[in-house]
Structure 1
Amino acid sequence: MGSEGRSWRSLFGMRAVVILVTVVALLSLATGIANISVPETTGPLGQYIPTSVQQAAGFTGALTGFLMLTSVWGLRRGYRVAWYATVALLPITGVQGLVQGSVLSLPLVSLSLLSLPTVLVNYRRFDNHLSVSTGQLAATAALAGTLVYGTAGTYALQEEFVQVSTLTDALYFTIVTASTVGFGDVTAQSAQGRLFVISLVVLGTASFALALGSVLGPAIQARFSRALGTMTTEQLELLENHVIVLGYGDLTEPLVEELADGSTRFVVVTDDSNTATMLREHGVDVFVGDPSDDEPLHEVDIEHARAVIVATDDDAEDAFAILTARELNPDVRIVAAASVRENVQKLRRAGADTVLSPAVIGGRLLVRSALGESDVESVADRLMEE
């Protein structure tokens, strides 16, 4: 029964979705390119579809293939948005294959229809959310706005341009002008048209540069962040209702492991770059900075934090970190660990809501165990489970 279950998952699981969608993307790309010219071998619907429509389906089919390859990249990472994009693109590839009217497109149509049920039944497997920064949203909006502005403006001023009579012509002119390609086949014939072209070039250059920066900037920043062991700006922007761990030491290590095993988002603030690099290599979010300074705590958004944990081996540094955290967010819950028993009340006066002394707890458990009490191990086990 176990082998049958594994066989079922391999046939209709996440890997099958990625493989099927990849094949559909490659078929869409190949058949689209093959059918850009008038196909010599027509399918059953070829005689009923105009040649211009078949050629248009070839162009759009190649574009859909590229878009679907992008969806494959997202599916491999389990993104939900990639699942939605794939569900939308699969029917489109099927329709484009039919409209292309070629025998070469029949495998594309068949596989598109067969792949859709497999993608649909695996909805729950793609539950990761794609993180999009404010800069990337702004770049997308700027690029889309420039294309709309250029297309609408060129079409409205078509009498001022040579060879512009349709929206397709206007879109073509907008893209080649905004991207500074400028073939010169469409030119402005009046001062009004030239002023519009100047505005389009300025907006196009700015929006394309912004879009390029939003893509390359995070990638470069992520590379430096991995090397330095700290978080990127995009990761910091996504922090909300999270736990902040101030400092890192022997007491902190087990609680970081406990947090990493759970579903709560957390970030460690430490001024030790070597420790930060080590934690980042284990997938832990880290911000390099002094845990007792205001700026690092603002950067990790302590104002919207769920709780703060302070548990290093230095009670004096912990007290300063607690004072800073309490000042920046009077309502946040602060939990601390005192390495010395006499410092428990001091950490409470500094602003901690709860202060535990691992040495005291461990010592009392050891004494009870030495005196022969039988429930000590069960108490320790319950503490570990909790």
Structure 2
Amino acid sequence: MLFPIVLLSLVLSMGVAGYMIVEKWKFLDALFMTVISLTTVGYGETNPLTTKGRLFTMFLLISGMGVLAYGIGTVTAFFVEGHLSDLLRGRQMQKRIQRLRGHIILCGYEGEGHYVLDELVKTKTPHVVIAKNLARLKELFPSEALYIEGDSTKEHVLALGNIEHAKCLISAMPTDHENLLVVLSARGMVPGIRIICCVYDRENLHKFQRVGANATVMGTFIGGLRMASEAIRPTVVSFLDQMLRQLDKTIRIEEVIVPEENCPWAGKALREIAFPERTGLVIIAIKSARTMRYVYNPRGDYVVEGGDVMIVIGETSQTLEMKRMLGYDIPRDGEEESEEKTPAAPGERA
């Protein structure tokens, strides 16, 4: 889009300068003559032309008409083919990304990344996808995903994903080499961010740990465990499969951090909170902020403290409602995002 505008400007400048030099005309007369000549309006000569002026006019028409036609065609295509709407949509999306707090950045959405993205969408977890080619992503998730087209190994691209305020980065690139570069870039930019990445060669595990990955996942290792579980505990595997693949509602095991400040539940027992009645969730365990140990199937007299991590099972909508009760800033379905920057959720980096 910029190139044809530059060409048009050069032709226009050449015409104005030519008439001012050859015919000694004033700027406005030279500009007027250039425009009516290039647009073939046919108003006639602004002032009588000398022989040199007529020769220059012929040269301007021959050289400038092609450039003018090319420029007009490119500008027309820009509007007709939707490039302008894509540009405006991209700017609006970038504003939404910069307002995110405590979100997840996914680098690569094919292979393992496809299943990661599917889970993020189903659980309504704030996220940004970074990939070089987004054509397939727009087909699979036309409206749910926020995305950036670019190389996720580059720091300036990660910065567009608002990595400074992200709580986690998942690297699902197709090779260990690319995943290592993503980890190095992300860790250098934000030392405190949690980084999870795919590993394809077992010998590279120690390299990922050395450069700063918090967790690594090997598809072959997970696949082997899954096959063993199918043989040893098939009912449990079937239960988890149905929970993950249920279409009419999304049921998940989630973790929720109890805010350390201004929390209405802090210092109260679960019985006093009436947790099951108010949330509809089942508490599997609580990781105590004081002892850093897990309390499995906590009793009603367990006193909730700020910083506790509650591990619950239930519908995603129930978990989101629980977070709202605790003070998390989570918009409901259909609500517009505030134009102001959304404050960080309790327990997350601002």
| TM-score with structure 1 setting the length | 0.38
Q: Which has the higher helix share?
A: 1
Q: Which has the higher contact order (CA 8 A, sep 6+)?
A: 2
| TM-score with structure 2 setting the length | 0.42
